[in-house]
């Protein structure tokens, strides 16, 4: 069994004995980067915030939204600035490893958006660099900071659903079709990190079927099957070619079932008191039958907080206190290792592939 929960005592991090950071930088101001700038501002824990992008129009847009944020055009400007202690890398996936490595080598803690790198080898190297420097290495598994996901994790840990039989995840929409990574590397990290957080461990093997319909070699629809050591199976369906935007996870247990719909703002979680039981005694096969239970539907209250804001605070707090973050480098390595195995499975027509979790 591969434990997916971080061990906060596994390494000694550098402790910053202050109430705020002297400086934090966001590298990459495309789709997601401006949200990091906004949330860094909202924390009030950064004396300076620097935003970096080579695209002038992107810098101008963010400057208009956040006039107090400093703009720089080159990544070297961030690396050379001694007052910047923390960096968020929100750039194309192929650049994650190189940029994060430079940050760590410059003595800066870093949060890398998902997936943290393009291979388990690269991920392991980043983990070693962070440990060597006593720095925080965190991965942008934003859903691990969602109140809904935390609630599901608690329900599973407290055995509210009974023995977990299987988990089914669907993440589909029309676009955005990427040019450098396939749909598995783009969308599946969200659901993989959620499933690992819920179950508390990662899978032993994976099979994956995918197809390319527009860009040869870049799959735009895929289905992953994850096998865990405790007889749990999980299915993850991801697609850029679907008429509906779907963000749904179903957890089926021996006593109850749960549905998490991230597109529902008011009722993201529903717990179904439904199940199947086998009659304990019967004398003939004709007497054998299942009993189906149809109970109430419980809609638990979930706090309406922005996961990214919680994640930003957690990143800064990890640097200030020296605590290992929830979605640390090892968490990122687990996801990348499964993505690697899924890619290998697709190349072999969907054959089952054992997951190798790197050597970090």
Specify the pLDDT at position 7.
44
- The end-to-end CA distance of the chain, in Å, is 17
Q: Is residue 279 part of a domain?
A: yes
Specify the pLDDT at position 292.
73
Q: Is residue 359 part of a domain?
A: no
Nearest to 189 by CA among 99, 115, 96, 82: 115
CA distances from 307 to 39, 58, 148, 155, 239 (A): 10, 24, 10, 19, 23
* 16 and 71 inside one domain: yes
- Contact of 155 with 258, CB cutoff 8 Å: yes
Specify the pLDDT at position 175.
84
- Contact of 114 with 141, CB cutoff 8 Å: yes
* 184 and 92 inside one domain: no
**Domain CATH code at residue 265:** 3.30.360.10
Specify the pLDDT at position 12.
62
* 54 and 10 inside one domain: yes
* 236 and 152 inside one domain: yes
Gap between the Cα atoms of 241 and 252, Å rounded: 27
* 168 and 286 inside one domain: yes
Specify the pLDDT at position 280.
65
Q: Is residue 121 part of a domain?
A: yes
In total, how many domains does the chain have?
A: 2
Specify the pLDDT at position 1.
45
* 54 and 75 inside one domain: yes
Q: Is residue 137 part of a domain?
A: yes
Specify the pLDDT at position 286.
55
Q: Which domain holds residue 201?
A: 144-305+340-354
Gap between the Cα atoms of 268 and 260, Å rounded: 6
* 150 and 136 inside one domain: no
* 350 and 221 inside one domain: yes
Q: Is residue 234 part of a domain?
A: yes
Residue entry with tokens 């190349």 = 347
Q: Is residue 333 part of a domain?
A: no
* 113 and 157 inside one domain: no
Q: Is residue 289 part of a domain?
A: yes
Specify the pLDDT at position 336.
98
pTM of the model: 0.91
* 137 and 150 inside one domain: no
Q: How many other β-carbons are positioned within 10 Å of the β-carbon of residue 246?
A: 16
* 168 and 276 inside one domain: yes
Specify the pLDDT at position 312.
98
Gap between the Cα atoms of 233 and 226, Å rounded: 6
Q: Could you report the average pLDDT of every consecutive run of 10 residues in the chain (360 residues)? A: 47 74 97 97 96 98 97 98 98 97 98 97 98 97 97 97 97 90 97 97 97 95 96 97 97 97 95 77 59 84 94 97 95 98 97 88
* 44 and 75 inside one domain: yes
Gap between the Cα atoms of 7 and 339, Å rounded: 23
**Domain CATH code at residue 134:** 3.40.50.720
Q: Is residue 262 part of a domain?
A: yes
């Amino acid at each position: 069994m591969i434990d997916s929960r971080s061990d906060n005592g596994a390494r000694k991090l550098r402790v910053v004995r202050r109430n705020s950071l002297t400086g934090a930088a966001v590298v990459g101001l495309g789709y997601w980067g401006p949200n990091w700038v906004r949330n860094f501002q909202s924390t009030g824990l950064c004396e300076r915030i620097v935003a970096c992008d080579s695209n002038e129009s992107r810098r101008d847009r963010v400057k208009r939204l956040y006039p107090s944020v400093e703009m720089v055009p080159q990544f070297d400007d961030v690396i050379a600035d001694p007052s910047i202690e923390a960096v968020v890398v929100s750039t194309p996936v192929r650049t994650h490893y190189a940029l994060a490595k430079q940050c760590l080598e410059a003595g800066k803690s870093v949060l890398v958006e998902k997936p943290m790198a393009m291979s388990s080898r690269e991920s392991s190297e980043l983990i070693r660099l962070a440990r060597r420097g006593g720095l925080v290495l965190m991965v942008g598994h934003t859903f691990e900071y969602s109140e809904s996901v935390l609630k599901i994790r608690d329900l599973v840990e407290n055995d509210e659903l009974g023995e977990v039989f299987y988990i089914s995840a669907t993440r589909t929409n029309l676009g955005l079709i990427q040019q450098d990574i396939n749909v598995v590397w783009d969308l599946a990290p969200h659901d993989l990190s959620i499933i690992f957080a819920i179950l508390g461990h990662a899978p032993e093997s994976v099979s994956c079927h995918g197809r390319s319909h527009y860009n040869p070699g870049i799959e735009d629809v895929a289905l992953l099957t994850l096998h865990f050591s405790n007889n749990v199976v999980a299915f993850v369906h991801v697609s850029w070619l679907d008429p509906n935007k779907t963000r749904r996870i179903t957890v089926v247990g021996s006593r109850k079932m749960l549905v998490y719909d991230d597109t529902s703002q008011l009722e993201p979680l529903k717990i179904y008191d439904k199940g199947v039981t086998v009659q304990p005694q019967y004398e003939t096969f004709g007497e054998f039958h299942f009993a189906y239970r149809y109970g109430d539907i419980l809609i638990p209250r979930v706090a309406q907080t922005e996961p990214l804001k919680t994640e930003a605070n957690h990143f800064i707090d990890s640097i200030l206190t020296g605590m290992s973050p929830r979605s640390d480098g090892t968490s990122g390595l687990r996801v990348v290792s499964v993505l690697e195995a899924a890619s290998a499975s697709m190349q072999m027509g969907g054959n089952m592939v054992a997951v190798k979790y790197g050597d970090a």
